[in-house]
Amino acid sequence: MRSINLAVVGATGLVGEAIIKLLAERKFPVGELFVLASENTAGGKISFDGKSLKVLPAEDFDFSQVELALFAAGASASQQLAPAAAEGGAVVVDLSPAYRYEPDVPLVVADVNDELLGQARERNLVACADASTVQLVRALKPLTELGPIQDVVVTQFLAASATGKSGVDQLAQQSVRLLNGLSPSEAAQAQIAFNVLPVSGQVQENGFTSEELKLMLETRRILADQPLSIQATTVRVPVFYGHGQSVSVRSMQGLTAAQSFALWEGLDDVEIMENDDPQAISPVATVEGEPRMLISRTREDMEAGGGLSYFSVADNVRWGAALNAVKVAEKLLKDYL
């Protein structure tokens, strides 16, 4: 592939940092890399491929200098800056929820619906699905080869890093305070350390939270060709990195563990854990920092109804968010830029 100039917006955040590392590790053909952040965090230095790059303020950047811009700075920054970047000719790959529900913006999970990238030039915008959605549909999509999927029930265990560095810092600080006999926080914050919170996101009028609705709506859009009914419950757990998902799925033609293994094993960044492996019971620590997803606890419906249940875990920052965005960038450069 030819080299291109590229910008990373939100370069000092958890996902931005992971994107920059993956660009180097995967030898993405970068001509010149611009690392951008808000005025509050601009001015520092970031290492990339043996070079020290100055962090520039995103608000002042001329996006006509790049062909591709990866936005990992949140919805507000994307709404403010992405339209101008797109108008300047850069294809924006946005990791925030800002454009995920706009019908003329492709919502993409790499290796699942790459064909939608052919629409990228219509608005110079591509929306990346949330890390939770990436994790769910990467496992579900291969199963559709066995027949249409009807029902999915998922319980998601959301890591602290889902809310960025602030979530990681909150868990760390509360853990230290509790271990020293103090209250979890001096502020009016819910205790996440040594606790499980049954609500993540804002509770909506229908009783579901914004996190649950996001997972359900995005999955339905990405797997729009499936007669899919999906129910989600999301809880926050005291884990720094790595979302867990307990999933039950039912197909019209029925599913077996052997068939599912055969399909999952064909995915290059997915690993099947044998059920007799003690690490398969709690593999979160195994995937932290790793660009892969682990699937374990696979079991068939006891009533022989053709259903299947499994547990998956992946680093939400490095795999679910950053790797998906970099793969999208690679596919855009290869086929559409």
The tens digit of pLDDT for each residue in 81-123 reads 999 999 999 999 999 999 999 999 999 999 999 999 999 999 9
Please report, for the domain that includes residue 88, its CATH number.
Answer: 3.40.50.720
Q: Is the pTM value of this prediction over 0.85?
A: yes
Instruction: Let me know how long the chain is.
Output: 337
Mark whether 101 and 43 lie in a shared domain.
Answer: yes
Q: What is the mean pLDDT of the chain?
A: 90
Is residue 219 within 8 Å of 108, Cβ to Cβ? no
How far apart are alpha carbons 238 and 126 in whole angstroms?
32
Q: Distance between CA atoms of 21 and 29, rounded to whole angstroms?
A: 13
110 and 142, same domain (yes or no): no
Tens-place pLDDT, residues 174-220: 999 999 999 888 776 789 999 999 988 888 889 899 999 999 999 99
Residues 218 and 240 reside in one and the same domain: yes
Residues 239 and 299 in one domain: yes
CATH number of the domain where residue 241 is located: 3.30.360.10
Locate 143 and state its tokens.
Answer: 């199963």
pLDDT bucket at 275, cuts 50 / 70 / 90: low
Q: Is the pLDDT of residue 274 over 80?
A: no
Burial (CB count within 10 angstroms: exposed 0-12, middle 13-18, buried 19+), residue 84 = middle
Q: Specify the pLDDT at position 165.
A: 86
| E-only strand ranges, the chain | 4-9, 30-37, 45-48, 51-54, 56-57, 68-71, 91-94, 107-108, 125-128, 149-158, 229-236, 243-251, 270-272, 293-300, 307-314
* Sign of the CA dihedral with 41 first, then 3, 98, and 196 last: negative
Residue 193's domain spans which residues?
133-316
